[in-house]
Structure 1
């Protein structure tokens, strides 16, 4: 299914509206993460997917942080 839209200003950026039928078919809604990949005179948009193994593989000693003390338990937490 194809559709037309237009480019509008959103603050200092530009935005493209996704028509409701396309969003429903595509399975996206407000807050959905997408990727935009420029390919020549085309722009490919796709739902952003995450690969846990890839994300964990990118963890380095520099990107790790120590534990953060959030205070005593306040409910039924078991530590």
Structure 2
């Protein structure tokens, strides 16, 4: 599905509206992370893929938290 849109000002940046039917088909919503890749006279937008290896590499002793006690087991959990 294609759609036309326009460029608007958002503060000191520019913004493109994604029509609701396109957003629903694409599976994005407010707050979704996307990547924009310029390719000649085109701009390709795609959902941001999370890379577990990259995310784990950003963990430091300062950002690592201790275990969280959630209380006693309530069901058939094996501890």
TM-score with structure 1 length normalisation? 0.73
Q: Among 58, 61, 77, which residue is 2:69 paired with? A: 77
Q: Which runs of 4+ in 1 moved over 3 A?
A: 65-69
Aligned-partner Cα distance in 2 for 1:65–1:26: 37
Residue 41 (structure 1) aligns with: 41
Say how many residue pairs are matched: 68
Q: CA deviation at 1:54?
A: 3.2
Instruction: Please list every run of 5 or more consecutive structure 1 residues that lacks an aligned counterpart in the other structure.
Output: 70-75
Aligned-partner Cα distance in 1 for 2:63–2:55: 19
CA RMSD of aligned residues (A): 2.4
Residue 72 (structure 1) aligns with: none
Specify whether residues 3 and 77 from structure 1 end up closer, same or farther in structure 2 by C-alpha distance, changes over 3 A only.
Answer: same
TM-score with structure 2 length normalisation? 0.73
Aligned-partner Cα distance in 1 for 2:43–2:13: 16
Residue 31 (structure 2) aligns with: 31
Instruction: Please list every run of 5 or more consecutive structure 2 residues that lacks an aligned counterpart in the other structure.
Output: 71-79
